[in-house]
Amino acid sequence: MNAKTLTHLQRLEAESIHILREVAAEAEKPVMLYSVGKDSAVMLHLAKKAFHPAPPPFPLLHVDTTWKFRDMYVMREKAARTAGMELLIHQNPEAKAKGINPFDHGPLHTDMWKTEGLKQALDLYGFDVAFGGARRDEEKSRAKERVFSFRSANHRWDPKNQRPELWRLYNARKAKGESVRVFPISNWTELDIWQYIHLEGIEIVPLYFAAPRPTVDRDGLILMVDDDRFRLHPGEVPKMRSVRFRTLGCYPLTGAVESTATTLPQVIQEMLLTTTSERQGRAIDHDQAASMEKKKQEGYF
Amino acid sequence: MSTQDPIYKTDALIAEDIDAYLTAHQHKTMLRFLTCGSVDDGKSTLIGRLLYDSKMIFEDQLAALEADSRRIGTQGQEIDFALLVDGLAAEREQGITIDVAYRFFATEKRKFIVADTPGHEQYTRNMVTGASTADLAVILVDARKGVLTQTRRHSYLVHLLGIRQIVLAVNKMDLVSYDQAVFDRIRADYAAFAQGIGIADFTAIPISGFKGDNITAVSANTPWYTGPALLPHLETVEVEDTRDQTGAFRMPVQWVNRPNLDFRGFCGLIASGQVRPGDAVRVLPGGKTSTVARIVALEGDRDLAVAGESVTLTLADEIDCSRGQVLVAAQDPLEVADQFEATIVWMDEAELVPGRSYWLKIGTQTVAATIHAPKYEVNVNTQEHLASKTLDLNAIGVAVVTTDRQIPFAPYAENRDLGGFILIDRHTNHTVGAGMIRFALRRAQNIHWQATDIGRTHHAAMKNQKPAVLWLTGLSGSGKSTIANIVERKLARMNRHTFLLDGDNVRHGLNKDLGFTEADRVENIRRVGEVAKLMTDAGLIVITAFISPFRSERDMVRGMMQPGEFMEIFVDTPLEVAEGRDVKGLYAKARAGQLKNFTGIDSPYEAPEAPELRIDTTETTPEQAADLIIARLIP
């Protein structure tokens, strides 16, 4: 018999599909958190593969902050439509009423729109399992994250109370009110994600490719002026620069990099030759040492 | 510090021809490996070094690392690579690694996933977890200390979990002046030990994680060493991912895909072998056969799928097949059994309770299972067999496992997916243990159910009643026996055929060999449950009066009965009240320390969470209680 050697991407794909199906089989009411970024795009693509020819047997949930890039909102609608999946959008009504925004409220912005918004949405719909696109290589505190990450009834993550995961056996049992965050692409790296997008021809938000965009400099980050809510300093005029984004979030908090990469291979090339890590473009990580760990305990993804 | 320049310079192709680079890298393979060693062996330093030398450390991370090294590092002004991998804030402060961390790096040839596990004895559970998915293990030894107890422990665990590729990394060679004699002695010591526990082969490499010797390239400091450096070895060692393909086809069915009436796809990850359209397959348990019609995929049907791939198959015939069953090659099926001998690793703070019912998850199915008292426990340091009645956290032992139904399996040594299982506590839902099937017991294969001509329906019909179990649970002195007696008297007057099983009475006969330890209490209830079950088969209404303090066992008995036949009745009497009555004088004895394991005093009572009936004896007389029970039984 001729053995067929599986490539690393084939192995990762098989593992992720296995995880997605395991949740579909064992969860009461699963949902896929969809953030419109490249990791979400890969996770959604894997879900399509896992359940083809049926559409994935769960809805997509976007926890919206109202401050995402406009291109992301366009992509969100398109992706859900193409996948034949229901798209649920949640915006924290309290954050909305208080006008919480990234300019005036700093960390509170992320806390209220994202952390609180996510908890609200999960409670509102009664989802017991939520898929997330987090990867273990993103940040040190995530290296020990389980694929099935348990949250107490009040959504807290207790590092001491996580279950051992052996072989391909995931224990999804839980008490009423408890929930599980499941990360099907835990073992993918940034490079794996890009290679897979390239290989499978997965559509991603154009912001990942370089284009002339109106930008300003803020605290060492290049920010894009995506709409007229952006607060310019007196006399400041946005500068057109060829930039792209390595990660996507709220546009006033997401740093761009100057780039001329307009194709996927060029983007991957830049990524491989770059000397700074992916999360550097995100303002939230710089708050304090071990900040992700703290955020996770509070319920941020 | 004497850093050699990283040998793994960024591939020149990236800059010159990215398309060619991408094509090359799509064919990379993957190796998952485990590193074992204690805090002092330099394990974190080695991993940090591998990440650093394979260019996985970015400038911003390096800047943070340099700052951290100066602040909390243990290497003076030099870079402390260990800080790269010590993740959570809590453990960084403690200076130890307390869990399994997964790291990733890639070279031109391979992607690597490293399971970084602590090596201390208390963390056997973590090492076993890390080893369960690894193809290779790097066992670190400090050159100054040689083969230690922990080296033997790590090797035993790695071998137990079925890892065939072992690297003995003799670290800190710089601290023994790169002395060949030291290395040779350690290698010989290890070879003698490894052979003894059945490790056929290993590769020993002299390294310095701190200085970088023999990590990415052969070091000039060890001219006497002729083998490969560590990273080149990891890049070229044969990955065993193709081994599973050589076996017969097996796929645990994970999900049945039914988008409409015309399509029924069986989804799963192939555990062994290969499959093509037209192959004859069998569904286990059951044994129905069919042939594979299609291998369905988003990008179009495929003509071959192999072990390790997640696929969707359709069959030519409409046969019953659901999650938990296993599709196998029709001519080469799997063994099916319900009793096994298995090696069990205990992973929970609460010790194993032999006889208690746990959930057992194997492949894609979850069944109820009980673990018998261990045949022996293994001392993980010396590999000696010890007598033991139970297994506590991090203990490893061999025991018989009985499942409530037949499951298809393969011995763990043949296939991890078909022979590895986890045990789940029915109440806490924690993963409390992991097991590896050694073989099925012949008893399971030879004892069959004898079909009888007069069945339970017939028995019940002759008595003109519906069988039931009225299970009274509550503290000693709560009034269970009193109420049970009245219930039986009243039912007798109604011409109902009953039998009363009383806790004290049963302990005079059937269970006179049992004491009051947790394990004995579990066995007591299990036997009573089995007797009650036989009596319901005979058509009787069974009334039981047992303290039955643990939820797990009450649930186990409930699970034995037909749906709707089990009525849990909580005779709820506060401890003060029961103790105040103290009809048998037992509470006084327990308080005086003359009676051990007395429920409510030094042994817990787990009140029912959702009993069919709760009787508050502070507000209800025994007579009223009996009427309530009968009203519930015969509405």
**Is A51's Cβ below 8 Å from some Cβ in B?**
yes
pLDDT of residue B376: 94
Per-residue pLDDT of chain A (301 residues; tens, 9 = 90+): 567 888 899 999 999 999 999 999 999 999 999 999 999 999 999 999 999 999 999 999 999 988 899 999 999 999 999 999 999 999 988 888 888 888 788 788 888 888 888 889 988 999 999 999 999 888 766 777 889 988 888 777 776 677 889 999 999 998 888 889 999 999 998 888 999 999 999 999 999 999 999 999 888 888 888 888 888 888 888 899 999 998 888 888 888 988 998 999 888 888 877 765 554 554 444 444 444 445 555 555 5
Same domain for B303 and B371?
Answer: no
The CATH number of the domain holding residue B169 is 3.40.50.300
Return the residue in B86, B104, B246, B358 with the most chain A beta carbons within 10 A, the one to mutate for interface testing: B104
Phi and psi (nearest 5°) for B161? -80, 5
**What are the chain A neighbours of B88 within 8 Å (beta carbons)?**
141, 144, 159, 290, 293
* pLDDT above 90 for B483: yes
**What are the chain B neighbours of A287 within 8 Å (beta carbons)?**
none
Is B217 within a domain?
yes
Interacting residues of B481 by C-beta distance below 8 A, sequence separation 6+? B502, B503, B504, B545
**What are the chain B neighbours of A273 within 8 Å (beta carbons)?**
10, 14-15
Across the interface, do B102 and A144 touch by the CB < 8 Å criterion?
A: yes
Question: Which residue has tokens 């996927």?
Answer: A264
**What are the chain B neighbours of A137 within 8 Å (beta carbons)?**
103-104
**Active-site annotation holder among B290, B476, B548, B552:** B548
Across the interface, do A166 and B306 touch by the CB < 8 Å criterion?
A: no
Nearest to A105 by CA among A132, A66, A63, A156: A66
**What are the chain B neighbours of A3 within 8 Å (beta carbons)?**
242, 245-246, 306
Same domain for B145 and B222?
Answer: yes
**Secondary structure letter of residue B360 according to DSSP:** E
* pLDDT above 90 for B27: no
Cβ-nearest to A1 among B274, B298, B422:
B274
pLDDT of residue B183: 95
Return the residue in A5, A8, A19 with the most chain B beta carbons within 10 A, the one to mutate for interface testing: A8
**Is A169's Cβ below 8 Å from some Cβ in B?**
yes
DSSP codes, A9-73 = HHHHHHHHHHHHHHHHHH-SSEEEE--SSHHHHHHHHHHHHHHTTSPPSS-EEEEE-S-B-HHHH
User: Which of A239-253, B60-74, B365-379, B481-495 is predicted with the least confidence, judged by mean pLDDT?
Assistant: B60-74
pLDDT of residue B80: 66
Question: What average pLDDT score do residues B88-106 get?
Answer: 62
- Residue B9: pLDDT band (50, 70, 90) is very low
Cβ-nearest to B242 among A5, A8, A159:
A5
More confident residue, B445 or A124: A124
A279: nearest CA in chain B? B60
DSSP codes, B235-295 = HHSPPGGGGGGGS--EEE--EEEEEETTEEEEEEE--BSEE-TT-EEEEETT--EEEEEEE
Question: What average pLDDT score do residues B489-516 get?
Answer: 86
More confident residue, A129 or B238: A129
Question: What average pLDDT score do residues B92-103 get?
Answer: 61
**Secondary structure letter of residue A6 according to DSSP:** P
Across the interface, do A1 and B102 touch by the CB < 8 Å criterion?
A: no
Convert B565-581 to b/e letters by CB count within 10 Å (16 or more is b). bbbbbbbbbebeebbee
Question: Which residue has tokens 């070279």?
Answer: B107
Kindly provide the residue ranges of all beta strands, DSSP E only, lying in A104-246, ordered along the sequence. 129-131, 148-151, 179-182, 211-218, 221-224, 239-244
Is B450 within a domain?
no
Domain end position, chosen among B189, B223, B238: B238
CA max distance for chain B: 97
Provide the number of structural domains found in chain B.
4
**Is A1's Cβ below 8 Å from some Cβ in B?**
yes
Count Cα neighbours of B2 within 13 Å in the Cβ-side half-sphere: 10
Nearest to B269 by CA among B305, B303, B310, B237: B310
- Residue B82: pLDDT band (50, 70, 90) is low
**What are the chain B neighbours of A49 within 8 Å (beta carbons)?**
297-298
Interacting residues of A301 by C-beta distance below 8 A, sequence separation 6+? A33, A114, A118, A132, A134, A181
Across the interface, do B246 and A1 touch by the CB < 8 Å criterion?
A: yes
How much is the CA Rg of chain A, to the nearest whole Å? 19
Across the interface, do A265 and B19 touch by the CB < 8 Å criterion?
A: yes
Question: What average pLDDT score do residues B583-607 get?
Answer: 86
The CATH number of the domain holding residue B370 is 2.40.30.10
* pLDDT above 50 for B240: yes
Q: What does the alpha-carbon distance between residue B618 and residue B623 come to, in Å, rounded to a whole number?
A: 13
Q: What does the alpha-carbon distance between residue B8 and residue B184 come to, in Å, rounded to a whole number?
A: 29
Nearest to A71 by CA among A118, A39, A37: A37
Residue A18 burial (10 A CB sphere; 0-12, 13-18, 19+):
buried
pLDDT of residue B121: 62
Convert B223-235 to b/e letters by CB count within 10 Å (16 or more is b). eebeebbbbbbbb
Q: A136 CA to chain B: closest CA distance, Å?
A: 7
* pLDDT above 60 for B527: yes
Identity at B11, one-letter amino acid code: D
Same domain for B141 and B186?
Answer: yes
For A175, other C-beta atoms within 10 Å of its C-beta total 10
Is B1 within a domain?
no
Question: What average pLDDT score do residues B161-187 get?
Answer: 93
Q: What does the alpha-carbon distance between residue B124 and residue B119 come to, in Å, rounded to a whole number?
A: 7
Same domain for B196 and B254?
Answer: no
Write the pLDDT tens digit of every residue in B388-443: 989 998 889 999 999 988 899 999 999 999 999 999 998 889 999 999 999 998 65
Same domain for B516 and B426?
Answer: no
- Both tokens of B192, joined, read 């003698």
Return the residue in A26, A150, A166 with the most chain B beta carbons within 10 A, the one to mutate for interface testing: A166
- Both tokens of A208, joined, read 């990942």
Same domain for B92 and B187?
Answer: yes
- Residue B90: pLDDT band (50, 70, 90) is very low
- Residue B286: pLDDT band (50, 70, 90) is confident
Contact B407, B361 (CB under 8 A): no
Write the pLDDT tens digit of every residue in B191-206: 998 988 888 889 999 9
Write the pLDDT tens digit of every residue in B358-402: 999 999 999 999 999 999 999 887 888 999 989 998 889 999 999
Is B3 within a domain?
no
For A122, other C-beta atoms within 10 Å of its C-beta total 24
pLDDT of residue B323: 94
Same domain for B156 and B39?
Answer: yes
Across the interface, do B241 and A11 touch by the CB < 8 Å criterion?
A: yes
- Residue B345: pLDDT band (50, 70, 90) is very high
Write the pLDDT tens digit of every residue in B615-632: 998 899 999 999 999 998
Same domain for B160 and B295?
Answer: no
Domain end position, chosen among B195, B213, B238: B238
Domain boundaries, chain A: 8-192, 205-286
**Is A81's Cβ below 8 Å from some Cβ in B?**
no
Same domain for B201 and B138?
Answer: yes
Q: B611 CA to chain A: closest CA distance, Å?
A: 17
Same domain for B461 and B594?
Answer: yes
Interacting residues of A157 by C-beta distance below 8 A, sequence separation 6+? A149, A150, A151, A296, A297, A299
Q: B198 CA to chain A: closest CA distance, Å?
A: 22
**Three-class secondary structure of residue A227 per DSSP:** coil
Contact A18, B310 (CB under 8 A): yes
Q: B548 CA to chain A: closest CA distance, Å?
A: 23
Is B548 annotated in the active site? yes
Contact B494, B500 (CB under 8 A): no
Is B451 within a domain?
no
Identity at A194, one-letter amino acid code: W
Same domain for B183 and B278?
Answer: no
Convert B35-70 to b/e letters by CB count within 10 Å (16 or more is b). bbbbeebbbbbbbbbbbbbbbbbbeebbebbbebbe
pLDDT of residue B7: 39
Domain that holds residue B568: 456-633
**Three-class secondary structure of residue B62 per DSSP:** helix
Hey, which residues 13-32 in chain A have their CB within 8 Å of chain B? 13-15, 17-18, 21-22, 24-25
**Is A128's Cβ below 8 Å from some Cβ in B?**
no
Domain end position, chosen among B238, B259, B281: B238
Please give the span between the terminal C-alpha atoms of chain B, in angstroms, as a whole number.
85
B85: nearest CA in chain A? A140
Q: A17 CA to chain B: closest CA distance, Å?
A: 6
Q: B89 CA to chain A: closest CA distance, Å?
A: 6
Across the interface, do A173 and B29 touch by the CB < 8 Å criterion?
A: no
pLDDT of residue B86: 56
Question: What average pLDDT score do residues B48-61 get?
Answer: 66
Across the interface, do B88 and A168 touch by the CB < 8 Å criterion?
A: no
Is B360 within a domain?
yes
List the alpha helices (DSSP H) in chain A. 8-26, 38-51, 70-83, 93-98, 107-109, 117-125, 190-200, 264-273, 291-298
Same domain for B162 and B210?
Answer: yes
Question: Which residue has tokens 């959604």?
Answer: A44
Across the interface, do A17 and B310 touch by the CB < 8 Å criterion?
A: yes
Q: A65 CA to chain B: closest CA distance, Å?
A: 28
Peptide bond into A102 cis (omega under 30): no
**Is A237's Cβ below 8 Å from some Cβ in B?**
no
Cβ-nearest to B417 among A140, A167, A173:
A167
Contact B348, B433 (CB under 8 A): yes
B86: nearest CA in chain A? A140
**Hey, what CATH topology would domain A8-192 get?**
Rossmann fold (3.40.50)
Q: What is the mean pLDDT of chain B?
A: 85
